[in-house]
């Protein structure tokens, strides 16, 4: 199915993909998928000063991780390429030449120093810092003089001095800009490299983009871009400016806000399903009470008309809650795949995994998943199933190891469990319940110290699940070890 809809996400490879960019990419992706269109990835890498090596790869990795596959762009090709602006310089030069010969653009010989001085003066005088138009109607002599002095000109667009430019925004309606508030801005730098507004328009036009969906911070660029479409004679695409994602202090996302990059969330143990779901819900809602929405459901329901107008502050707590929901309800095999790197990182499993190890990890994950909100927590919750080197939680020691007769109780527990066969949940529980009854104690009096002895913790899955998972050898060994440890380290009170 091809509806003719073409949208693009056009990041600049100056850093990693943060959640604001990811959300913009997501909305473009959703719009394309919801409307049978094509989603295109384009790299806006004309600022060679700020360009960062590895940034493109990082962005690509993050998009793929989130599941936002593009139909055209780096790595997949397409008939409108190339998809990196640095590889399209001849296209921009050609289009700029058209504007120059048509008299719609002109050469500007002002130096950056002159322009800075103009701006400073305007600022002091309380005027808007607009270009003063010095080169708009430069005389032939002055021009010759500048050329002779070897000054390389930049190219400016001749902006109408009156009238209005109206942005018909799919989310905000008509937004009117007075042309008089716009100035003749630079479209080609003196180096022959296009500026953002120009390259963006040329690419969107020549790549057949039908809907420009981008963050609201670009809204004030749009009238400038519309003027270029008109000058070049290209039809206008539809525009949609989606609300921004703000940091908890209500400011635009930046490095000082800490972990806001997709890769950082990934490293902290967030799963792509959850981030996808959360980001979709930031600025958009299905219109009813649903919160947990999978990929297909979001694609089915997404519409720009339902996108809100105001900026949203992201809330890690809700993301974390969603993440926990996904961790406890996704397919176990999928969870395994996602959790494996974290388990390796935590030293629970090695690089090569036998079928039996895999089976065991699967069962462990099943036991601890509902208690974990991130994969990091998950690996941590799973650790004592793989490692014997845990220490007893000091708080727990104080609470359940210091009572009178705990070592003896643990040894009795050990004796009760030793003959159990098969060593499963219900048989071990029966053995323990019998002991509890025989001793006339409460369940907790035996169960709590046992848990601490077996796991080092006071929290975790049901005790008999833990026991069955650990198996007889490790259970008995850990009970012995704890009894001895208590006798050595604790003075009964």
Partner RNA sequence: GGCCCCAUGGUCAAGUGGACUAAGACACCGGUCUUUCAAGCCGGUAACCCGGGUUCGAAUCCCGGUGGGGUCACCA
Tokens standing for 384?
A: 């004592």
Q: Which residues contact 341 (CB under 8 A, 6 or more apart)?
A: none
Can you tell me which residue has the tokens 């001085």? 117
- Intra-chain end-to-end CA distance of the chain, in Å: 76
Minimum CB distance to RNA smaller for 344 or for 371: 371
Residue 288 within binding range of RNA, rule CB under 7 A: yes
User: Site for RNA (CB under 7 A): which residue of 108, 213, 274, 397?
Assistant: 108
Scanning residues 236 to 255, which ones bind RNA (CB under 7 A)? 243-244, 246, 250-252
Residue 121 within binding range of RNA, rule CB under 7 A: no
Minimum CB distance to RNA smaller for 65 or for 185: 185
Residue 74 within binding range of RNA, rule CB under 7 A: no
Scanning residues 9 to 28, which ones bind RNA (CB under 7 A)? 12
Minimum CB distance to RNA smaller for 179 or for 357: 179
Contacts 24+ apart (CB under 8 A), 214-217: 214/10, 214/24, 214/240, 214/241, 214/242, 215/20, 215/24, 215/241, 215/242, 215/243, 215/244, 216/241, 216/242, 216/243, 216/244, 216/311, 217/244, 217/252
Residue 462 within binding range of RNA, rule CB under 7 A: yes
CB of 221 to RNA, least distance (A): 5
CB of 186 to RNA, least distance (A): 4
User: Site for RNA (CB under 7 A): which residue of 26, 66, 170, 186?
Assistant: 186
What letter would DSSP give residue 244? P
User: Site for RNA (CB under 7 A): which residue of 136, 376, 458, 476?
Assistant: 458
Pair 45, 86: CB distance under 8 Å: yes
Residue 148 CA to its chain's centroid (Å)? 52
Minimum CB distance to RNA smaller for 262 or for 279: 279
Count interface residues toward RNA (CB under 7 A).
87
Q: How far apart are CA 463 and CA 441, in angstroms?
A: 17
Minimum CB distance to RNA smaller for 102 or for 313: 313
Scanning residues 348 to 387, which ones bind RNA (CB under 7 A)? 370-371
Residue 461 within binding range of RNA, rule CB under 7 A: yes
CB of 424 to RNA, least distance (A): 13
Residue 132 within binding range of RNA, rule CB under 7 A: no
Could you tell me which of 228, 189, 203 has the C-alpha nearest to residue 91? 203
User: Site for RNA (CB under 7 A): which residue of 175, 267, 299, 376?
Assistant: 175
Residues with active-site annotation: 255
Q: How far is CA 441 from each of CA 241, 424, 435, 447, 460, rounded to the nearest angstrom?
A: 67, 23, 9, 11, 22
Q: How far apart are CA 201 and CA 209, in angstroms?
A: 10
């Amino acid at each position: 199915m091809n509806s003719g809809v073409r949208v693009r996400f056009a990041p600049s490879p100056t850093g990693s993909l943060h959640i604001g960019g990811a959300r913009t990419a997501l909305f473009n992706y959703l719009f394309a998928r919801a409307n049978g269109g094509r989603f295109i990835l384009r790299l806006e890498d004309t600022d060679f000063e700020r360009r960062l090596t590895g940034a493109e790869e990082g962005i690509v990795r993050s998009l793929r991780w989130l599941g936002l596959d593009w139909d055209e762009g780096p790595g997949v090709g397409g008939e409108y390429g190339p998809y990196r602006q640095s590889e399209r310089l001849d296209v921009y030069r050609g289009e700029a030449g058209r504007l120059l010969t048509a008299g719609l653009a002109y050469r500007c010989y002002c130096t950056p120093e002159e322009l800075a001085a103009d701006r400073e003066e305007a600022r002091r005088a309380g005027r808007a810092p607009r270009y003063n138009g010095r080169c708009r109607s430069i005389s032939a002599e002055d021009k010759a003089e500048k050329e002779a002095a070897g000054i390389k000109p930049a190219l400016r667009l001749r902006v109408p001095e009156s009238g209005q430019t109206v942005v018909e925004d799919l989310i905000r309606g008509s937004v009117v800009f007075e042309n008089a508030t716009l100035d003749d801005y630079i479209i080609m730098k003196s180096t022959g490299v296009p500026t953002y507004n120009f390259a963006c328009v040329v690419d969107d036009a020549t790549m057949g983009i039908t809907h420009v969906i981008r963050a609201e911070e670009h809204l004030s660029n749009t009238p400038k871009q519309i003027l270029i479409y008109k000058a070049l004679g290209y039809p206008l695409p539809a525009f949609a400016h989606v609300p921004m994602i703000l940091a908890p202090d209500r400011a635009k996302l930046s490095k000082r806000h800490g972990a806001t990059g997709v890769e950082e969330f990934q490293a902290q143990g967030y799963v792509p399903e959850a981030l996808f779901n959360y980001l979709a819900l930031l600025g958009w809602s299905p219109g009813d009470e649903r919160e947990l929405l999978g990929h297909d459901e979001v694609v089915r329901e997404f519409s720009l008309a339902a996108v809100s107008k105001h900026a949203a502050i992201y809330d890690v707590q809700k993301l974390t809650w969603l993440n926990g929901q996904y961790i406890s309800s996704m397919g176990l095999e999928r969870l395994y795949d996602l959790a494996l790197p974290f388990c390796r990182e935590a030293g629970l499993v090695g690089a090569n995994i036998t079928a039996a190890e895999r089976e065991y990890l699967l069962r462990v994950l099943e036991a601890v998943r509902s208690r974990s909100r991130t994969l990091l927590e998950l690996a941590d919750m799973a650790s004592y199933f793989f490692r014997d080197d845990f220490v007893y939680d000091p708080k727990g020691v104080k609470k359940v190891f210091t009572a009178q007769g705990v070592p003896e109780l643990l040894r009795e527990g050990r004796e009760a469990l030793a003959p159990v066969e098969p060593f499963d949940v219900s048989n071990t529980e029966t053995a323990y319940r019998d002991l509890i009854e025989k001793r006339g104690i409460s369940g907790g009096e035996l169960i709590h110290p046992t848990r601490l002895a077996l796991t080092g913790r006071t929290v975790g899955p049901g005790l008999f699940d833990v026991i069955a998972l650990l198996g007889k050898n490790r259970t008995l060994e850990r009970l012995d070890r704890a009894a001895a440890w208590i006798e050595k380290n604790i003075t009964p009170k």
